[in-house]
Amino acid sequence: MVVFIILIFSASAYAGDFSGSLTYSGGYNFTENNLNNTLNLGLNYIHNFTDEVFVEGDLIIKYSDSSAPSPFMIIPKELYIGTYDLIPQLDIKTGLLIVSWGSADMLSPLDNFNPLPPGMSFTSMTQKTGVLAADATYYFNDITYLQAIILPSFVPSYMPEKYEEQIYLSMFAPQFQTQGIEINSVNITHAFPENLVWGIKLGRSFTSFDAAISYYNGYYLNAYPETIEPVPGSDGMSLNLELGYPKKSVFGFEFQGDFPGIDGATLRGDLAYIVSQPWQVQGEDILKDPYIKAAIGADYTTSFDLYLNVGFIWGFIFEEGDQCSPYISLNARKRIKRQ
């Protein structure tokens, strides 16, 4: 069970527009009888240099209770320079960006550019981490566009060092214990990809819906074990573990439009065909054959500003390959606005 309370405020300062939101969310885990509390302060500033050139910045200041891996975080979401039609029919954004890729409200299999910070909501794209990128969109006409994204360097999902060590110690220690080897600690190194990440999308608007096809060329945001070696340490046996990021290509199809028969409701969906680099851990295939992930959802906002969402997900955010399985999601939010 999750409760959201949102306050929204805005102001003008130094010839720019300033706005912000203060959000409280509380989630109760019935299994562990535990209440988790999160407070987010989101700040936005935009300044227009000319009618065609502007700068925009977004920042999140987040505090969670002690059950979160990182109780306090300052997250710069976006800070970029943008142009509208400075070059005819071409919009450009360069800097720290949140890339819009995919139509699904949550857990889109096409959303592979921006990592999610630890402890943040899976349901909100606005809480993703910004990445250094260039985003160019060319409009052939009012209904057809071509979008290209380039990241000069790969940005993986962040995990606190101690938390990461605990996860892999609990994962591999029992395996070596069956061989008579007691693992007391884990030394983790990361092998980061050096090639750039890019994507391209062709979209078009139809009478009652929008659709697009896309291609992503990059890497998995979460690391996978690459080499595992037990070595003697000062406190017994230690495990040298190198983590890598397998390469992947994603062929995508996305759509959004009116839900048939329900006035004001929206239907959204993302379908991804994923071709991954073959990857083995201790001789076992973790990634091998191409596979499909999908997210389809419908949302509706009532007359009293209650947001409702239901979705079908094939393959959760941490599931890949033959591990993918089906899920049903339900989401309800109520905003309290203060003028």
Residue 93 lies in a domain: no
From 1-10, 134-143, 259-268, 329-338, the region with the lowest mean pLDDT: 1-10
In which band, very low, low, confident or very high, does the pLDDT at 42 lie, cut at 50, 70 and 90? confident
Residue 274 lies in a domain: yes
**Tokens, residue 319:** 């599931």
Residue 304 lies in a domain: yes
289 and 157 in one domain?
yes
47 and 108 in one domain?
no
With tokens 């003008």, the residue in question is 12
65 and 117 in one domain?
no
What's the mean pLDDT when you consider all of the chain? 86
Residue 26 lies in a domain: yes
Residue 120 has a pLDDT of 52
Residue 81 has a pLDDT of 96
Nearest-angstrom CA–CA distance, 313 and 329: 8
**Tokens, residue 230:** 């037990």
Using the CB atoms, write b or e for 268-291: b if 16+ within 10 Å: bbbbbebebeebeeeeeebbeeeb
273's CB contacts (< 8 A; 6+ apart) are: 250, 251, 252, 290, 291, 292
Nearest-angstrom CA–CA distance, 169 and 161: 12
Residue 92 lies in a domain: no
**Among the listed residues 106, 134, 109, the one whose alpha carbon sits nearest the alpha carbon of residue 120:** 106
Q: How many CB atoms lie within 10 A of CB 170?
A: 10
From residue 72, give the alpha-carbon distance in Å to each of 36, 60, 61. Answer: 14, 11, 8
189 and 44 in one domain?
no
> Which of 83, 108, 137 is the last residue in one of the domains?
83
152 and 36 in one domain?
no
Residue 212 lies in a domain: yes
Residue 230 lies in a domain: yes
The CATH number of residue 290's host domain is: 2.40.160
Q: What is the pLDDT of residues 87-132, one digit of tens each?
A: 999 999 999 999 989 998 678 999 999 987 665 555 554 567 889 9
For residues 228 and 172, the answer to whether their CB atoms sit within 8 Å is: yes
* Residue 96: Cβ-neighbour burial (10 angstroms; 0-12, 13-18, 19+): middle
175 and 305 in one domain?
yes
Q: How many domains does the chain have?
A: 2
Residue 124 has a pLDDT of 53
248 and 177 in one domain?
yes
More confident residue, 157 or 118: 157
239 and 113 in one domain?
yes
Q: What is the pLDDT of residues 60-84, one digit of tens each?
A: 888 877 555 567 777 778 999 999 9
71 and 30 in one domain?
yes
77 and 107 in one domain?
no
Q: Label the pairing between strands 34-48 and 53-64.
A: antiparallel
From residue 310, give the alpha-carbon distance in Å to each of 184, 203, 263, 266, 271. Answer: 44, 25, 16, 11, 17
pLDDT higher than threshold 80 for residue 163: yes
188 and 49 in one domain?
no
Beta bridge partners of 287: 279
Nearest-angstrom CA–CA distance, 150 and 142: 24
pLDDT higher than threshold 50 for residue 219: yes
Residue 169 lies in a domain: yes
Nearest-angstrom CA–CA distance, 16 and 280: 52
More confident residue, 333 or 121: 333
Q: How many CB atoms lie within 10 A of CB 151?
A: 19
* Domain that includes residue 181, residue range: 98-334
176 and 318 in one domain?
yes
From residue 199, give the alpha-carbon distance in Å to each of 78, 177, 217, 223, 335. Answer: 19, 44, 6, 21, 34
